[in-house]
Chain A
Protein backbone atom coordinates (compact mmCIF):
# COMPACT_ATOMS: atom_id res chain seq x y z
CA UNK A 1 0.00 0.00 0.00
CA UNK A 2 1.08 3.51 -0.76
CA UNK A 3 1.81 5.44 2.36
CA UNK A 4 1.94 9.21 2.54
CA UNK A 5 2.87 10.57 5.94
CA UNK A 6 2.87 14.09 7.26
CA UNK A 7 5.11 15.17 10.11
CA UNK A 8 2.38 16.56 12.40
CA UNK A 9 -1.36 16.03 12.78
CA UNK A 10 -1.84 19.27 14.72
CA UNK A 11 0.35 22.36 14.86
CA UNK A 12 -0.08 25.69 16.62
CA UNK A 13 2.16 28.60 15.64
CA UNK A 14 2.29 32.33 16.21
CA UNK A 15 1.98 35.06 13.62
CA UNK A 16 5.32 35.76 11.97
CA UNK A 17 6.86 32.37 12.73
CA UNK A 18 8.48 30.30 9.99
CA UNK A 19 6.63 27.02 9.64
CA UNK A 20 7.74 23.80 7.97
CA UNK A 21 5.28 21.08 7.00
CA UNK A 22 6.90 17.85 5.95
CA UNK A 23 5.52 15.12 3.72
CA UNK A 24 7.08 11.76 2.92
CA UNK A 25 5.88 9.06 0.52
CA UNK A 26 7.30 5.56 0.34
CA UNK A 27 6.34 4.42 -3.17
CA UNK A 28 8.90 6.19 -5.34
CA UNK A 29 6.25 8.51 -6.78
CA UNK A 30 7.47 11.27 -9.05
CA UNK A 31 4.72 13.79 -8.44
CA UNK A 32 3.90 15.39 -5.12
CA UNK A 33 1.34 18.03 -4.17
CA UNK A 34 0.39 20.38 -1.36
CA UNK A 35 -3.23 21.46 -0.88
CA UNK A 36 -5.06 23.43 1.71
CA UNK A 37 -8.60 22.55 2.66
CA UNK A 38 -11.08 25.07 4.03
CA UNK A 39 -14.80 24.58 4.78
CA UNK A 40 -16.94 25.18 1.73
CA UNK A 41 -13.92 25.80 -0.52
CA UNK A 42 -12.77 22.23 -1.05
CA UNK A 43 -9.13 21.45 -1.77
CA UNK A 44 -7.03 24.16 -3.36
CA UNK A 45 -3.63 23.45 -4.86
CA UNK A 46 -0.75 25.46 -3.37
CA UNK A 47 2.31 23.97 -5.07
CA UNK A 48 3.27 20.76 -6.82
CA UNK A 49 6.41 19.04 -7.96
CA UNK A 50 6.86 16.74 -10.95
CA UNK A 51 10.23 15.49 -9.79
CA UNK A 52 13.20 16.18 -7.53
CA UNK A 53 14.21 19.84 -7.44
CA UNK A 54 11.24 20.77 -9.61
CA UNK A 55 8.36 22.88 -8.40
CA UNK A 56 5.36 24.55 -9.95
CA UNK A 57 2.93 27.06 -8.52
CA UNK A 58 -0.61 25.91 -8.01
CA UNK A 59 -3.67 28.08 -7.69
CA UNK A 60 -2.85 29.81 -4.39
CA UNK A 61 0.95 29.95 -3.92
CA UNK A 62 1.12 33.36 -2.25
CA UNK A 63 2.71 33.21 1.19
CA UNK A 64 4.12 29.71 0.64
CA UNK A 65 7.24 28.11 -0.76
CA UNK A 66 8.28 24.48 -1.21
CA UNK A 67 11.36 22.31 -1.29
CA UNK A 68 11.94 18.94 -2.97
CA UNK A 69 15.53 17.89 -2.37
CA UNK A 70 14.76 14.16 -2.32
CA UNK A 71 12.19 12.23 -4.31
CA UNK A 72 10.33 10.95 -1.30
CA UNK A 73 10.08 14.25 0.58
CA UNK A 74 8.15 17.42 -0.23
CA UNK A 75 8.20 20.30 2.24
CA UNK A 76 5.81 23.23 2.46
CA UNK A 77 7.20 26.39 4.02
CA UNK A 78 5.34 29.34 5.44
CA UNK A 79 8.02 32.04 5.59
CA UNK A 80 6.02 34.25 7.97
CA UNK A 81 2.83 32.64 9.16
CA UNK A 82 -0.35 34.68 9.21
CA UNK A 83 -3.75 34.00 10.74
CA UNK A 84 -5.33 33.52 7.31
CA UNK A 85 -3.07 30.51 6.83
CA UNK A 86 -4.93 28.66 9.55
CA UNK A 87 -6.19 25.62 7.66
CA UNK A 88 -5.95 21.89 7.04
CA UNK A 89 -2.94 21.10 4.86
CA UNK A 90 -2.95 17.94 2.77
CA UNK A 91 -0.03 16.38 0.95
CA UNK A 92 -0.52 13.96 -1.93
CA UNK A 93 1.64 11.92 -4.28
CA UNK A 94 1.07 10.38 -7.69
CA UNK A 95 2.99 7.79 -9.61
CA UNK A 96 3.41 9.04 -13.15
CA UNK A 97 4.18 12.41 -14.61
CA UNK A 98 2.12 13.56 -17.53
CA UNK A 99 -0.80 11.30 -16.81
CA UNK A 100 -3.99 12.06 -14.98
CA UNK A 101 -4.15 9.49 -12.28
CA UNK A 102 -5.09 8.75 -8.74
CA UNK A 103 -3.46 10.86 -6.09
CA UNK A 104 -2.76 9.31 -2.68
CA UNK A 105 -3.27 11.62 0.25
CA UNK A 106 -1.67 11.90 3.65
CA UNK A 107 -3.78 12.31 6.82
CA UNK A 108 -3.42 16.09 6.88
CA UNK A 109 -1.91 18.66 9.23
CA UNK A 110 -4.28 21.04 10.96
CA UNK A 111 -2.37 24.28 11.40
CA UNK A 112 -3.58 27.04 13.68
CA UNK A 113 -1.83 30.42 13.52
CA UNK A 114 -2.50 32.63 16.53
Chain B
Protein backbone atom coordinates (compact mmCIF):
# COMPACT_ATOMS: atom_id res chain seq x y z
CA UNK B 1 0.00 0.00 0.00
CA UNK B 2 0.93 3.66 -0.13
CA UNK B 3 2.88 5.30 2.65
CA UNK B 4 4.90 8.38 3.30
CA UNK B 5 8.61 7.84 2.77
CA UNK B 6 11.45 7.82 0.30
CA UNK B 7 10.86 4.34 -1.12
CA UNK B 8 8.06 3.55 -3.51
CA UNK B 9 6.07 0.50 -2.38
CA UNK B 10 6.03 -2.23 -4.99
CA UNK B 11 3.39 -4.83 -5.70
CA UNK B 12 4.34 -7.75 -7.93
CA UNK B 13 1.61 -9.94 -9.38
CA UNK B 14 1.41 -12.71 -11.94
CA UNK B 15 -0.33 -11.99 -15.21
CA UNK B 16 -3.96 -13.00 -14.93
CA UNK B 17 -4.13 -12.62 -11.15
CA UNK B 18 -6.11 -9.90 -9.40
CA UNK B 19 -4.25 -6.90 -7.97
CA UNK B 20 -5.21 -4.90 -4.91
CA UNK B 21 -3.55 -1.56 -4.27
CA UNK B 22 -4.24 0.15 -0.98
CA UNK B 23 -4.24 3.75 0.11
CA UNK B 24 -4.72 5.33 3.53
CA UNK B 25 -5.96 8.90 3.29
CA UNK B 26 -5.53 11.52 5.94
CA UNK B 27 -8.45 13.94 5.93
CA UNK B 28 -11.74 12.67 7.33
CA UNK B 29 -13.47 15.60 5.60
CA UNK B 30 -12.40 14.41 2.14
CA UNK B 31 -15.44 13.72 -0.01
CA UNK B 32 -13.93 12.83 -3.36
CA UNK B 33 -11.27 10.30 -4.28
CA UNK B 34 -9.52 9.45 -7.51
CA UNK B 35 -7.15 6.74 -8.67
CA UNK B 36 -4.55 7.67 -11.30
CA UNK B 37 -2.24 5.46 -13.33
CA UNK B 38 1.15 6.73 -14.43
CA UNK B 39 3.12 4.82 -17.00
CA UNK B 40 6.81 5.41 -17.42
CA UNK B 41 7.52 8.72 -19.13
CA UNK B 42 3.91 9.87 -19.08
CA UNK B 43 1.69 12.04 -16.93
CA UNK B 44 -0.91 10.48 -14.62
CA UNK B 45 -4.10 9.26 -16.27
CA UNK B 46 -7.50 9.07 -14.60
CA UNK B 47 -8.71 5.54 -13.88
CA UNK B 48 -11.74 5.80 -11.63
CA UNK B 49 -13.23 8.08 -8.99
CA UNK B 50 -15.61 7.70 -6.07
CA UNK B 51 -17.51 10.15 -3.89
CA UNK B 52 -17.85 9.78 -0.16
CA UNK B 53 -21.54 8.86 -0.35
CA UNK B 54 -20.55 5.57 -1.99
CA UNK B 55 -18.49 2.65 -0.74
CA UNK B 56 -17.92 0.86 -4.02
CA UNK B 57 -17.68 1.77 -7.68
CA UNK B 58 -16.87 -0.44 -10.63
CA UNK B 59 -15.32 0.31 -13.97
CA UNK B 60 -13.93 -1.85 -16.68
CA UNK B 61 -11.75 -4.43 -14.86
CA UNK B 62 -11.31 -2.02 -11.96
CA UNK B 63 -13.17 -1.58 -8.70
CA UNK B 64 -12.61 1.07 -6.07
CA UNK B 65 -13.63 0.44 -2.47
CA UNK B 66 -13.95 3.18 0.12
CA UNK B 67 -14.00 2.59 3.85
CA UNK B 68 -14.58 5.94 5.53
CA UNK B 69 -14.50 4.46 9.02
CA UNK B 70 -10.80 3.63 8.74
CA UNK B 71 -10.01 6.17 6.00
CA UNK B 72 -8.96 3.53 3.55
CA UNK B 73 -9.24 3.31 -0.21
CA UNK B 74 -8.38 0.39 -2.45
CA UNK B 75 -8.11 -0.24 -6.16
CA UNK B 76 -8.76 -3.73 -7.41
CA UNK B 77 -7.66 -4.72 -10.89
CA UNK B 78 -9.11 -7.94 -12.25
CA UNK B 79 -7.08 -10.27 -14.48
CA UNK B 80 -3.99 -8.08 -14.37
CA UNK B 81 -2.25 -7.62 -17.71
CA UNK B 82 1.29 -6.51 -18.62
CA UNK B 83 -0.14 -3.18 -19.74
CA UNK B 84 -1.24 -2.55 -16.16
CA UNK B 85 2.37 -2.17 -15.06
CA UNK B 86 2.64 1.41 -13.81
CA UNK B 87 2.69 3.58 -10.71
CA UNK B 88 -0.75 4.04 -9.18
CA UNK B 89 -1.67 7.10 -7.12
CA UNK B 90 -4.68 7.77 -4.99
CA UNK B 91 -5.80 11.37 -4.49
CA UNK B 92 -8.28 12.95 -2.09
CA UNK B 93 -10.13 16.25 -2.09
CA UNK B 94 -12.78 17.96 -0.02
CA UNK B 95 -15.22 20.58 -1.14
CA UNK B 96 -14.37 22.99 1.65
CA UNK B 97 -10.68 22.97 0.79
CA UNK B 98 -10.89 24.58 -2.62
CA UNK B 99 -11.07 21.11 -4.14
CA UNK B 100 -7.32 20.76 -4.30
CA UNK B 101 -6.22 17.20 -4.77
CA UNK B 102 -3.80 15.72 -2.25
CA UNK B 103 -1.89 12.81 -3.71
CA UNK B 104 -0.48 9.72 -2.08
CA UNK B 105 3.11 8.71 -2.71
CA UNK B 106 2.23 5.98 -5.20
CA UNK B 107 2.56 2.21 -5.55
CA UNK B 108 4.57 0.55 -8.30
CA UNK B 109 2.66 -2.37 -9.84
CA UNK B 110 4.80 -4.93 -11.65
CA UNK B 111 3.14 -7.64 -13.68
CA UNK B 112 5.19 -10.79 -14.09
CA UNK B 113 4.64 -13.01 -17.11
Contacts and interface: CB of A to CB of B under 8 A. Distances in A.
Contacts of B36: 105
Given A42-B89, A100-B31, A101-B99, A108 B43 contact: yes
Interface in B89-113: 89, 93-95, 98-101, 103-106
Contacts of A90: 43-44
Nearest to A35: B103
B70 interface: no
Interface stretch (B1-9, B13-21, B71-79): B1-9
Nearest to A56: B98
Interface residues of A, number: 25
Nearest to B97: A100
A34 interface: no
Q: Which range holds the interface residue count of chain B?
A: 20 to 34
A99 interface: yes
Contacts of B5: 40
A61 B22 CA distance: 29
B48 to A, nearest CB: 10
Interface in A25-39: 35, 39
27 contacts: A4-B43, A39-B6, A40-B8, A41-B105, A42-B104, A42-B105, A43-B89, A43-B103, A44-B103, A45-B101, A56-B98, A90-B43, A98-B99, A99-B95, A100-B31, A100-B93, A100-B94, A101-B99, A102-B46, A102-B49, A103-B34, A104-B46, A105-B36, A105-B43, A106-B43, A107-B41, A108-B41
Contacts of A102: 34, 46, 49
A105 B44 contact: yes
B99 A42 contact: no
A98 to B, nearest CB: 7
